[in-house]
A and B are shown apart, each in its own frame.
Chain A
Amino acid sequence: MRTENTGIKISPEDLLQNKQFTTTLTDRKRVVLVGNPNVGKSLVFNHLSGLYADVSNFPGTTVAISRGTYGNYDILDTPGIYGVSSFNDEERVARDVIVEADIILNVVNSLHLERDLFLTKQLIEMGKKVSIILNFSDEVKRKKIKIDSKRLSALFGVEVIETSAVTGTGFDLLNEAITKARPGFVSGEITGRLNQHIVNNHGRGVALLVAEGDEEVSAKFGYEPGTADDRETIYIERRNTVNEIISEVEYEDTSKGRFFNRLGSYSLNPVTGVPILAFMLVVLYYLIGDVVAQQVVGFTEDVVGKKYFEFYTKKTVSEFTAVDITVSNLDADGKPVTSNSYAFKDGLRYNQPQKLAFEQAASSKDSDVSFDFKNPVVRLFFGEFGVFSMTITYLLFLLLPLVIAFYFVMAVLEDSGYLPRLATMMDRSLSRIGLNGRAIIPILLGFGCVTMATITTRILGTEREKTIATAILQFVIPCSAQLAVIAVLAGTAGPAATLVYGSVIVAMMITVSTVLHKALPGQSSPLLIDLPMMRIPRIENILKKTWHRTIGFMKEASVWFFIGALGVGLMEITGLLQVFTGLLEPVTVNWLKLPAEASVAFVMGTVRRDFGGAGLYDLALSPMQVAVSLIVITLFVPCIASFMVMLKERGWKEGFAIWLSAWVIAFLVGGLTAMVVI
């Protein structure tokens, strides 16, 4: 029955902007998979269409609709939701697909009937053709719970099948579930609440959402939404009906109804939870900070990126254009010992003898080659900050491995069920600064890549929380590229300087977030999160999820890295960059008490955060001067790409406000620290 996949992924933005993607489908019937988070919906989808959909264990991270085909049907997967409404992006996306659906396969976690059947009842009240897929049926048996699916079918008036998505049991019944899908029973009370005019013109689905006071749907169709009281009444009635149904169909054999999820409880208990968290962080630090950021990136960036990719690209370009090439031989510490310059007035190909000499010098193992292109346009694209040299190395050989590593780890944390528990553990600390536990996700990601994390602030509940989280990320969280440089510099500067640096940064993190929390109007949303069972993640899901998100991030962010590089390149060839550096010099020398050259490092830090730190390597700084420079480059403006993404996510006004304050705060705090310690 499996047919070809269309492989189309529709982003939530497309759906939210009301691009009528559903109507672009053919007149084939649309089967929509709907369910709560963690019900195994994606495995059903995979089985039907052969196409992977992101499976999420953390409520609120899957926002994409996957589409595939099964026989004569189009299959659409929706994000996990607890009900059809407009509380967040996932719900809005799912809502619009559900309203347009011909057939709904409602996947239900049999272990969580109370939570899941609320959505089922709502779908049936929407008048849709529905079939219920009772998933996790094998776990239900293992836990000695009995669910009378025949009775359930009779009470709801729709087809019910039992499956186990993990083992594939019952999947042979899915075809029947689709063909036998039918509208279920709806009480006269509910029907009485619906505006018959809306039912006739737009269907029961829209009518129900209007009656429930869904403002977006009401506005779209031009009706007055029901009141908050109406919604509450409908919800309470629905909840009561669902509870009655459950009491008729579910029997638990064990006298003790409490299922003890041991690891889950340990990770929440303060006594055991903190050591578990510490252990996790150590493993994470080793895996990402050491293995990936040092060893893997050391190889991909320095060898693959610089020695091969950039060298051969630049060399090929040099064939055709004027260039000065400098080849330095390095000693074991990476310090240049000898260096030779080769000037090519018209490009390599017009001076074969010198080309040979240069190639021979460059072929030695410890050589470092730099190309100084004479043509400014060539420099723009292939020079030090070139769009096709630095940016590609940065994206593919530095960022890509890190982003993969971070998304991999997040996927493991998510699918194991630990992430929501971590969010719960961190809730109190984060609520002090106007965030809730959920914000731990972008903050953790920030230590990988601030750009990636800034995009992820979308999962937060209110604009206020997004602003606070973005500001914290942009001000105080050093990304992994920068962390590596900071670690090296702090290591050479000794414990006293490291302590000064660390305490100033932590103090700033608390100050910035507290000030924003106090100053920003409005309230932050409290944590309300469903904790899924802890389980061993499935490796194929982890890999596919990592892959999807990495691709998604690279697609979204790459363009900003290119634009940023182009901007900086233009500033360099027009001399603006030098003007900037000149302006910063007096501040650097007199206020920060650092050598004039440090200002170059700061300006470079606006391009790539690690450039800022790397520029400090060669300066003879006292330990306290190192501390001051590290404070400045950490608090300082983020890299150009994350600045661009911030403008896109937070708007021009807020983005610039954060960016400019970063300049002021970095120099202010750096200078004050210098006054005390230098």
Chain B
Amino acid sequence: MGMSNDDELVSDYLRRLETAASALPADRRRELVEEITVHIAEARAANPDQPGGVRTILDQLGAPEEIVRADGIGAAASPQSPMPDQLGRLEIVAIVLLLIGGVVLPVIGWAVGVVLLWLSPRWGLRDKLLGTLVWPGGLLAPLVVFAAIATAAVFTVGPVCSTSSPGGTVCTSQTLPPWLTITLSVIAIVASVVGPIWTTVRLVRRARQPLATTGETDQGLLISPLSA
């Protein structure tokens, strides 16, 4: 007979539709799949002896990807719903870990953030490299820098070389005048704070690419001018 073959064709088609529709919001996806399922059932019932059977019905429906694309265009062109600006959960966790993971759980927290960063499909190679190298440790870096400077400062801003006493006191490993040390310290701290923050902002912006960009707005439907 071929009934089971037809059923297989239908379930394959619906599976393709589900996959293609994963880019849509959950309730719209469910609705669309339901509508198409019902359509196929009605079409089969309306014409049980149709030559070509289910295959004709599916051909007339068109490719699942096209159907989903039509829905995507709608989401972009509809005046009521703004561009889906979704920052995925993966991306949010990655960004948080990159920024403060190193502070909460030194090294490991940040390292996990790096792993998630590279796992995400939303960032290009350049962004991923940026996220990893600027700076390693996220906001842990300024703390490290600050600690390093504080330790060094004890030695350099400490006992000053005294040249006025007759015997000539030996300086203790001072190479930089205090003002230079402080200036460099400030620069280092600012850079190590600004770096991760700037990287974070950039990663957030990049991850916010709308999901359904098809670039077909010039061929979009004419409904929008007439809708109130």
On whether the two chains bind one another, the answer is: no
Binding site for B on A (CB under 8 A): none
Binding site for A on B (CB under 8 A): none
